[in-house]
A and B are shown apart, each in its own frame.
Chain A
Amino acid sequence: MCGNCGCSELGDLPIHTHHQPEHSKNEKIRSLTITQSILSKNDRLAERNRNYFLAKGLLVLNILSSPGSGKTALIERTITERTTEMAEDASAIASSLQDRLKVGVVVGDLETDNDAKRLRSTGASAIQITTGGVCHLEAEMVLQASQNLNLDLIDLLIIENVGNLVCPAAYDLGESLRVVLLSVTEGEDKPLKYPTMFKSADVIIVNKIDIAEAVEFDREQALTNIQKIAPEATIFEVSARTGVGMEAWYDYLEEKMHKGFSHKGFSTEDASRSQTDIA
């Protein structure tokens, strides 16, 4: 008996021929089991970056936020204040080898190299990646760009991601620490609106606290939201413009530089199981 329509395959050929073409068509369609993480390629490249940066002894920060939260300002102040301070330390202790904290920056934007120019004026080496419309940085872009920096001469590599709280969350770059910024003008419920990003953060920095009062920022509510969404993240409250609260951030960075630290990464176990078989 035919499995499709129940008609007898024995004898009554003229009736059976009506669905013969369909049978042969169905037989041709095959099912193929794959089970592959779409981002497995980026995850692999990110892991390669992580090992590479680790071998170079670099602390790598991936800095993320909405456009205009103050990523560039935070990096600028971190570079200028921290490097100056460490230079003073070095002159105080003449024998110290650590004369200056050397920073390299890779900065991603859809267009223009304004941010790289701005960062270069601090004396740091900065490489601009213009993604040409791509809304996030990927591991491969970071590796390519970092080849234009002399990684042997720097201690801290800061990656300023494209201003976007959605897409970059999914892309591991091989960073040691993922730093997410939230400025007080964005509202205290931002972590609730973009949980994927905030849950992926190792560090969350509340920026622009110098104007918190003017924009009626509910600090307690914001901190509660952050802690509930990202219970393991380290939180800093700063103004990158005035410098308030930055000291704690520097101390944290310095501690991490001495200790060495690796971001948990994003490759799920699923990424490793990739199998192909015909069902």
Chain B
Amino acid sequence: MHEVSIMSQTLEIATENAQQQGANQIHRLKMRIGEMSGVVPEALNFAFDVVTEGTIAQGAKLEMEIVPVVCYCPHCQIEFQPPDLFYECPQCDRLSNKIIAGREIELTSLEIS
């Protein structure tokens, strides 16, 4: 359950940015969550309600974009989206450990007033 600490850190970054803009309320937070980030979106949603209570983000909407895994095959020099947990290059069948997307835990934008 590190989603609570992830969400607390997200709220911290969001609040800091909102306050820098002179805002006193956060209406919406948008995040990008990688499939291979180890974070469970449902747990983030739950944590969001808990950590935002009594803050300037109370009642805000959390939107999450799930980022699929993209790997790179150094042999074929191509990027590919693996269909399963085994990151096998569709051209040469070699297994790749070069993950170029899918690990993101990012705050991308806010709606504030």
Chain A residues proximal to chain B, CB less than 8 Å:
25, 28-39, 41, 134-136, 166-167, 169-170, 192, 195-197, 199, 227-232, 266, 268, 270, 276, 278-279
Interface band, chain B:
35 or more
- Within 8 Å by CB of B38, from A36, A134, A169, lies A169
Pick 27 A–B contacts, CB within 8 A, sort by A.
Answer: A28-B113, A29-B113, A30-B111, A30-B112, A32-B23, A32-B112, A33-B108, A34-B13, A34-B109, A36-B13, A37-B104, A37-B106, A39-B6, A134-B5, A167-B1, A170-B6, A170-B38, A170-B105, A195-B36, A231-B96, A231-B97, A266-B103, A268-B104, A276-B17, A276-B20, A278-B21, A279-B109
Total A-B pairs in contact (CB under 8 Å)? 99
Q: Say whether chain B's binding surface is mostly helix, strand, loop, or mixed.
A: mixed
The smallest C-beta distance from A44 to any residue of chain B, in angstroms, reads 13
B108 touches A34 (CB 8 A): yes
B95 within 8 A of A: yes
- Say whether chain A's binding surface is mostly helix, strand, loop, or mixed: mixed
> Cβ of B106 and Cβ of A270 under 8 Å apart?
yes
Complex formed: what's the CA distance from A135 to B38 in Å? 13
Indicate if the CB atoms of A33 and B105 lie closer than 8 Å. no
Minimal beta-carbon separation of B73 from chain A (angstroms): 12
Residue of B nearest to A29 (CB): B113
- Knowing A166-B38, A192-B85, A230-B97, the reply to whether A34 touches B17 (Cβ < 8 A) is yes
Q: Which residue of chain B has the shortest Cβ distance to A268 in the bound complex?
A: B103
Q: Closest Cβ of chain B: how far from A133's Cβ, in Å?
A: 9
Listed in ascending order, the chain B residues whose CB lies under 8 Å from chain A are: 1-2, 5-6, 9-10, 13-14, 17-18, 20-21, 23, 27, 36-39, 85-86, 95-97, 99, 103-113
**Inter-chain contacts of B95 with A (CB < 8 A):** 227-228, 231
